[in-house]
Amino acid sequence: MKRYLVLEDGTVFAGTAFGANVEKFGEVVFTTGMTGYQEAITDQSYAKQILVFTNPLIGNYGVNVDDNESIDPQCNGVVCQEVARVASNWRMRDTLGHFLEEKGIPGISGVDTRKLTKILREEGSMKGCLVDSDNKEEALKRISEHDYSGFLAPVVSTTKPYPNPGPKRNVVLIDYGVKHSILRELSARGCNTIVLPYTAKAEDVLRHHPDGVMLSNGPGDPSTMTEAAKMVAEVEKQVPVFGICMGHQILALANGAKTFKMKFGHRGFNHPVRELATGRIMFTSQNHGYAIDPKSIDPAKIEVTHEEINDGVIEGIQLKQYPAFSVQFHPDAAPGPLDAVDLFDKFMKLIDEGKESNQNA
């Protein structure tokens, strides 16, 4: 069956339909990961986006029950050059096509993804749609009329608190679209984690008596997260804070910085980042279309700790007055390199130092 990817500039790519038989609209973005299509599709940071895979073949090892980063993924489409006709892996429980069909996500194969990616790199990420009709004018009209709200936390966040039990440190995690791999890293360190919705206020967080607070990843425009920034501005004075991706941007906003929309973002599992204090280079998993504006940073409040080697984008900060830090990339990876997983240990150290200080006070 034919399917068409239509971009807002009028470019049309024809291909073969797979996945769900629905039409979807969204921001068209690309990821450079060679593997990890399941984790990318189920990453809630891709909510309402149409995801282009630059790797020419996906689906070859199917889908399994262990590597989902969410139960109900919210991405609005998958674009690839080729989807494997036969999938094989000892952990496989489903094919990619059937998985997308069950989750209501349309896919299109047979697309020249090199050409498409070049367009997105030169022109920037743009609005688009996956449709089964070749009526370009109608598709463009619908693209222009579609609501592309940048406030997406309500789409992906939990509505009620829930526990992720452990025997050691008490951590409150604010869910802006959390990846399961973050919870796995906290569990591996014995954390007793309470997950709260994005609407949590400072008093909601502190009534759980946390030893530390995590701010998760998530989709959308960070400038819409004003209430979250107000909450963080209060909580950071009380306990250690660690932010990842959207959480990184919210920590910056809470301390007077601003964010901006990037031309085409960083999405993939091979982004080199430099730790400024040591010069150490790490390869990282990334998925973000916004970044911190370096001109907006108050050096009396915020220290930049990491930067992207390719374009100099700020990839990490820490506060000078409080035990709080954040990174734009994903130290939990899933998939990708584990070069930065020790940042979770840094968070544990800040928690333990805070608890010891309170006991001695």
Residues that constitute the known binding site for L-glutamine = 45, 218, 220, 246, 249, 287, 289-290
CA distances from 274 to 18, 292, 346 (A): 40, 16, 17
- Tell me if residue 245 is catalytic: yes
Please identify which of the residues 191, 245, 248, 306 carries the catalytic annotation: 245
Q: Is 91 exposed, middle or buried (0-12, 13-18, 19+ CB in 10 A)?
A: exposed
C-alpha dihedral sign at 196, 198, 204, 207: positive
Please identify which of the residues 129, 248, 330, 339 carries the catalytic annotation: 330
Closest CA to 177 of 224, 227, 244, 131: 244
- Tell me if residue 146 is catalytic: no
Pinpoint the alpha helices (H) of 198-245.
Answer: 202-206, 226-235
Q: Is 356 exposed, middle or buried (0-12, 13-18, 19+ CB in 10 A)?
A: exposed
Classify the phi-psi angles of 226: left when phi > 0, otherwise alpha if psi is within -120 to 50, otherwise beta. Answer: alpha
Please count the helices (runs of H) and the strands (runs of E) in the chain.
10, 19
Q: Active-site positions?
A: 245, 330, 332
